[in-house]
Amino acid sequence: MQRFALFIISYIFWLLLTWSAEPGSIIAGLAVAGLTSVFFGRYFFQNAGKFIQPHRYYWLIIYLFIFTWECIKANFDVAYRVLHPRMPIKPGIVRVRLNLRSPFARTMLANSITMTPGTITVDIVGDNMYVHWIYIVSEDPVEYTREVSGRFENYIKKIFE
Amino acid sequence: MEVMLSVIIGFMIIASITAIYAKDLLSAIIAQGFVGYGLVICFLILRAPDLAIIQIVMETVTLIIMVAVVLDSSREEFDIMPDKTQGVTIAASFLFALVLLIYFNRAISGLDRFGNHTLRMSEAYVTGAAEQTGSANLVAGVLWDFRGYDTLGEATVLFTAAIGVITIIRLVGKK
Amino acid sequence: MTVFILSFLMLLVGVHGVLTRRNLIKVVISLTIIEFSIFLMLALIGFISGGEAPILDAGISAGRMVDPLPQAMVLTAIVIALATNAMLLTIAIRLYKKYGTFDIRRINELKG
Amino acid sequence: MKGMSLIVKKMAQLMSGLIFVYGAYIATHGHLTPGGGFAGGALIAGAFILMILANGSGYVRLKRQEEGSSAVESAAVLMALLLATIGLAAGTMVFFNNYLPPGIPGRLISGGVIPLYNVFIGIEVAAALMTIFLALVIYKEEISK
């Protein structure tokens, strides 16, 4: 199953790369995608059946808008902190507890947090995620968990789990 | 064009001096990576996309191997102690540089000015190659059709190097 | 003409490194710099100002193309450079395993 | 050699297949676009190197992998040499003769034997770089024991 999913994805990638409809290119693409699924299929997603569930794509599109908005907000926030003459920063590393189970959802959450300016995911150890933050709002775990990962976590749960 | 190239090559010279005089081997390797990636930009400006692609890939692989080697062993650079025969070495270096300079001068005087190259040897390659070989990329046509022997020898060198690496580095042999 | 002289300067820097450094890894780096300067020199020789990349496409005539011959030469040379570099580094780490140092002079002293 | 953290592992699993497809694209379209066998082979080797660096050396049986890549390397060189020798036998008796029909420049099936050379040299370069890398990894394992 996962091999088949990788086969489809790599074949689509090949067609986008070549962008031609001549028969030689199409047959060569089949061969290349087959080789890819033989070599790397074992290490792809464990349950690839999620690719054909349409409601996940719906939430993905909504999540893209939410992520863009949060990104713009965080950009202005960091720009304000940098341009302010007294530089009001309070950096530190917080430990956030994760509610997501699947490894890929955790990876995506970590990447979303890293791509938002001001926060960088340092590592994931067990069920905890260590995040470096440019301005620590509060020391209370419930408060900062909501502030760091609560914005994305529900959507990612709906998309990837 | 020439000014832009000169600036980039100037940066590359500074980076290579840094690489040679760095106190830490890891920073020397990173400075050498700067020289390699600067070369990629030079190739792009010189209209050689083939060379740019292969140089960027090969430079990355070289950096991986070098960093692995240095992290395995030591990364300290020792102080250069003054030699007894240092004067002789310096004189010999200057003599060597002078000889190189003379030959460089003779070689450069036979060339056309930069940017006004006349295609004496490869005139036939450029005009007739596409019809003869059917290859749109002229570099691939030259590489595999007109100069196949060169490329075969080059593949042999790579093959020999891989075999040599296995032979030299193996500690525990097969029982 | 400036670019030729600059790439020659880069070659001199590499030669200087090979002659004066005592560290094996530094010697490998200097050899790499010499190789880079020679690639650059060959690519500079083939350039035509205002020329196009040597790839036939619709709308590009064969008249104003840069010389493909030096590019093919440098293409093979880059791969050979990687192979020789890997070989040199392997020899260097085997020497390190035997003598415990990268210093050429100490390796010379500790014969056997 | 230990693997890296969960984030790196997952992203490597996602990307390495696509890097492999891109390397194959560069190698097979060497006669149409910039690139060719050498660059494509190095990219393919890069995909495997990325997997090994991210997941640690425990995930492949190194010795067997090294023997396999070394054998593939020899086979690819042999195939390229065989293609060149067929040129000696067919047509005008010239080594490295381009004996297949040239076709129309710009199509994938064109250029005579050049795409085949590109594919085999790509396999050879990928296997050679893999062999060098795996030899270094095995050396590191043996030295740390």
CATH number at residue C71: 1.10.287.3510
Q: Do chains C and A touch (3 or more CB pairs under 8 A)?
A: no
Residue A19 CA: distances (Å) to CA of A22, B32, D17, D30, D107: 9, 38, 19, 16, 12
Task: Using alpha carbons, select from D120, D135, D121, D144 the residue that is nearest to residue D49.
Answer: D135
- Cβ count near C108 (within 10 Å): 9
Closest CA to B124 of B148, B154, B152, B145: B145
Band of residue B36 on the pLDDT scale cut at 50, 70, 90:
very high
Distance CA C92, CA C103 (A): 10
Give yes or no for B164 touching D (CB within 8 A).
no
Provide the 8-state DSSP code for A125: E
| Closest CB from B48, B65, B78 relative to C43 | B48
Measured CA to CA in angstroms, residue C76 lies from B142, B156, C42, C73, D52 at distances of 12, 11, 12, 5, 28
- Interface mutation vs chain D, best among A2, A22, A32, A37, most D CBs within 10 Å: A32
Give the nearest chain B residue to D75 (CA atoms).
Answer: B159
pLDDT tens track for B71-95: 877 777 776 666 677 788 788 888 8
Q: Which of B6, B77, B139 sits opposite C23 (nearest CB)?
A: B77
Looking at residue D92, what is its pLDDT? 66
- Residue C28 placed within a domain: yes
Kindly report the nearest CA distance between residue D121 and chain B, in angstroms: 8
Contact residues of A toward D, CB < 8 A = 6, 9-10, 13-14, 17-18, 20, 22, 24-25, 28, 32-33, 35-37, 39-40, 43-45, 103-104, 106-107, 110-111, 121, 123-124
The total number of structural domains in chain C stands at: 1
Q: How far apart are CA B110 and CA B127, in angstroms?
A: 25
Report helix, strand or coil for D71.
Answer: helix
The answer on pLDDT for B37 being more than 90 is yes
pLDDT of the residue at B134: 74
Classified as helix, coil or strand, A93 is strand
- State the maximum Cα–Cα separation within chain B, in Å, rounded to a whole number: 65
Contacts of A9 (CB under 8 A, 6+ apart): D17, D18
Q: What digits encode the pLDDT tens for the residues A76-103?
A: 988 988 888 887 888 888 888 888 888 8
Instruction: Decide: C112 and B89 in contact? Cβ < 8 Å.
Output: no
B9 neighbourhood in chain C, CB within 8 Å: 3, 6-7, 10, 40
Query: How remote is the C-alpha of A24 from its chain's centroid?
Result: 36
Would C84 be classed as within a structural domain?
yes
How do residues C28-54 score in pLDDT, each as one tens digit?
A: 999 999 999 999 988 888 888 877 787
**How far from the centroid of its chain's Cα atoms is residue B40's Cα?**
11
What is the per-residue pLDDT for B175?
A: 54
- Chain position carrying tokens 């949060």: A70
Report how far residue A5's alpha carbon sits from residue A3's, in angstroms, rounded to the nearest whole number.
Answer: 5
The type of residue at D70 is S
Question: Using the 8-state DSSP alphabet, how is residue D35 labeled?
Answer: -
Residue C103: per-residue pLDDT = 83
| Mean per-residue pLDDT of chain A | 84
Q: Which pLDDT belongs to residue D23?
A: 92
Of the candidates B50, B72, B165, which has its C-beta nearest D135's C-beta? B165
Q: Which domain holds residue C100?
A: 2-48+64-109
CA dist., res. B54 & res. B57, Å (int): 5
Average pLDDT, chain D: 83
For residues B6 and C6, the answer to whether their CB atoms sit within 8 Å is yes
Please compute, for residue D109, the number of CA atoms within 13 A of its CA located in the half-sphere on the CB side: 10
Residue among A71, A10, A59 at smallest CA distance from A159 = A59
**A84-107 per-residue burial string, b: 16 or more CB within 10 A, e: under 16:** eeeeeeeeeebebebbbebbbbbb
Between vectors from CA C82 to CA D141 and to CA B41, what angle results, nearest 5°? 120
pLDDT recorded at residue B79: 67
Radius of gyration of chain A (CA): 20
State how far the Cα of D61 lies from the Cα of D138, in Å rounded to an integer.
10
Q: Is the pLDDT of residue B173 over 70?
A: no
Where residue A145 falls among pLDDT bands split at 50, 70, 90?
Answer: confident
Q: What is the rounded distance in angstroms from the CA atom of residue C63 to the CA atom of residue A41?
A: 48
Which of C82, C88, C98 to substitute to test the interface with D, most D CBs within 10 Å? C82
Q: Is D143 left (phi over 0), alpha (psi -120 to 50) or beta?
A: alpha
| Residue C16 falls inside a structural domain | yes
* Distance separating the N- and C-terminal Cα atoms of chain B: 61
* Structural domain includes residue C59: no
Q: pLDDT digit string (tens) for C74-97?
A: 988 998 999 899 999 999 988 888
Chain A residues close to D55, C-beta within 8 Å: 43
The residue of chain C nearest to residue D142, with distances taken between CA atoms, is: C97
Nearest to C101 by CA among B26, B78, B22: B78
Separation CA B54–CA B2 (nearest Å): 24
For residue D48, the chain A residues in CB contact (below 8 A) are: 39
- Chain D residues at the A interface, defined by Cβ less than 8 Å, are 5-7, 9-11, 13, 16-18, 20-22, 24-25, 28-29, 47-48, 51, 55, 107-109
Looking at the predicted structure, is the pLDDT value of residue C111 above 70? no
* Domain boundaries of chain A, sorted by first residue: 2-49, 53-160
Mean pLDDT of D99-126: 80
Residue C55 lies in a domain: no
CA distance D126 to B94: 43
Cross-chain Cβ contact B134/D104 below 8 Å: yes
Structure tokens at A7: 């086969």
Nearest CA in chain B to C65: B126
pLDDT of amino acid B83: 67
A138-147, D6-15, D67-76, D100-109: lowest mean pLDDT where? D100-109
pLDDT at A50: 72
pLDDT score of D83: 81
CB contact (8 A) between residue A44 and residue D13: yes
Tell me, yes or no, whether C81 lies in a domain. yes
Domain-located, residue C54:
no
**For chain D, which chains pass the contact test of at least 3 CB pairs under 8 Å?**
A, B, C
- List helix spans (H) across A41-149: 54-83, 103-115, 141-148
Task: Give the residue among D75, D54, D73 at the shortest CA–CA distance from D125.
Answer: D73
Confidence of residue B119 (pLDDT cuts 50, 70, 90): low
